[in-house]
Amino acid sequence: MDSVGVGANGKILASMSNASCSHLDSIRTTDLPDPLLGCQECLKIDGRWVHLRMCLVCGRVGCCDNSPNRHATAHFHESGHALIRSAEPDEDWNWCYADELAFVLP
């Protein structure tokens, strides 16, 4: 990803070539669970989700900020795990909540 764009929240998204993430050393997992059942918290409460995100530190799967419960962001605030990846088919982007930076891993 060698571009700059605007995210859904209106914030600038920069590629790794333009900015850097100070949390990359916390990545412990990048592989999606198989099978990917859904947002772990929504499944417990019979909730619904729009898109799924996976924590790159612990592997927890949560729903995106367009979902009613925003469990992926809640996980960041509760755990301090700053890095997520999209868990959607054919999407390879990642996000650092702390640095507000989108990036693609090699």
Q: What CATH number should be reported for the domain holding residue 37?
A: 3.30.40.10
- Residues 6 or more apart in contact with residue 28 via CB below 8 angstroms: 56, 57, 58, 59
**Torsions phi, psi for 44 (to 5 deg):** -70, -30
> DSSP string covering 22-44, please?
TTGGG----SPPSS----HHHHH
Domain total of the chain: 1
- Residues 6 or more apart in contact with residue 37 via CB below 8 angstroms: 43, 61
Cα–Cα distance, 36 to 61 (Å, whole number): 9
In this predicted model, what pLDDT tens digit does every residue of 69-82 receive, in sequence order?
A: 999 999 999 999 99
Render each residue's pLDDT in the chain as its tens digit; 106 residues.
334 344 444 444 444 455 789 999 999 999 999 999 999 999 999 999 999 999 999 999 999 999 999 999 999 999 999 999 999 999 999 999 999 999 998 8
Report field, pTM of the whole predicted structure over 0.95: no
Can you give the residue range of the structural domain that contains 19?
4-104
